[in-house]
Amino acid sequence: MEKVLETLKTLQDILSEKISLEHKIQEIPKMLTKQEELLTRMKKSFVEKNLEYEKAKTAESEYRNSLLDAESKREKAEKNMESISTQREYEALDKEIEDAAGKEQEFRNKLQREVRIISDLDEEIKQSQALIEQQETELDERRRDIEKEVAAKEDQLKALSQKENDLALELNDPDVLFKFERIIRNKMGKGIVAIKGGVCMGCHMILPAQFANTVRQGEEIVFCPYCSRILYYEESEQSEEDFFNDEDSGSLSDLDDMEEEDYDEDEEEDEKVSADYDE
C-alpha cells in the first residue's frame, strides 16, 4: 500500500500539471480577444468614415452645381441691366441680381465647408487604413505565436498523458484513478493529503480515532468522509491524545447516534415546556 500511495503522490503532481496546462491552452486564445475587438471597432469606424466621405462628396457636387447655377443667373441678370428702360424693370432686375448673389455666396460657403470636411475625412481614412493594416499584421503574427505556444503545450500534455497512463497501469484500479482525477480537478490540485493528529490536512476536519487508525494501518485506500481526498498517515509532533481520545471521538457512525440523542433531548425539553404551560 505504501508503494500505491507513493504512486498516487507522483500521479497527483502529473495530473496537477496536466490540468494547469489544459487551462492555459484554453486561456491562450482569449488573449487575442481584446486585439480582435479593437480591430473590429477600427474597421467599423473606417466604414463609417467612408460613408461620411461619400455623403460629403455628394453634397459637394450638389453645392458646386447650385453655385454654378446661381452665378449663371446673376451674370444673366447683370447683362439684362443694359436693356432695361423703366425704373420698375430696374428694381425687379436689381432684386433678382441681389437674390442670385446671396444664393451664390450661400452655396460658396457650403461648398467650402464640404471641401474642408472631405479633406479632413480623406486624411482620417488614410490614417485609419494604415492603422488597420498594422493591426492586422500584428494580429497575424500574434496568432502564429499563439499557435506555436499551443502546439508546444500540447506536446507537453501528450508527454504527461503518457506518464499518467504508465502510472495508471501500475495502480491497475480504474475506479480509484477516475475518482482521484476528479478530486484533483475539484480540490485545487490536491487529491491525496496526510492525516496528522487525527486531522485531515485537506479540509482540517477532526476525524474519529477508529477512522484514523484505519488510515494508519495502511491496508487499503481510504477517502476522507468530509473532503473526499485520499488519506495517508503522517506522524504528528503532538500526541494524538492532544486532539482527541477514544471516549469522546468515537467513529463516523457515532455522528448519527449523537444526532439522535440531541433530538431526544430536544423532544423531552419540548414536552417539559408544554407541561409547564398547561399548568
CA atoms within 13 A on the CB side of 165: 6
pLDDT at residue 258 is higher than 50: no
- pLDDT tens column, 2-45: 888 888 899 999 999 999 999 999 888 887 888 899 999 999 99
- For the cut 60, the answer to whether the pLDDT of residue 161 exceeds it is yes
Checking if the pLDDT of 136 tops 90, the result is yes
- Neighbouring-strand partners of residue 230: 192, 223
User: In the CATH hierarchy, which fold is given to the domain comprising 2-168?
Assistant: Helix Hairpins (1.10.287)
∠ Cα 67 121 44 (to 5°): 130
pTM of structure: 0.55
Cell matching residue 263: 433530538
Instruction: Round the average pLDDT of the chain to a whole number and report it.
Output: 83
What's the pLDDT tens digit per position in 57-108?
999 999 999 999 999 988 888 888 888 878 888 888 889 889 989 999 999 9
Domain ranges of the chain: 2-168, 191-278
pLDDT score for 149: 92
List b or e across 49-70, with b for residues whose CB sees 16 or more CB atoms inside 10 angstroms: beebbeebeebbeebbebbeeb
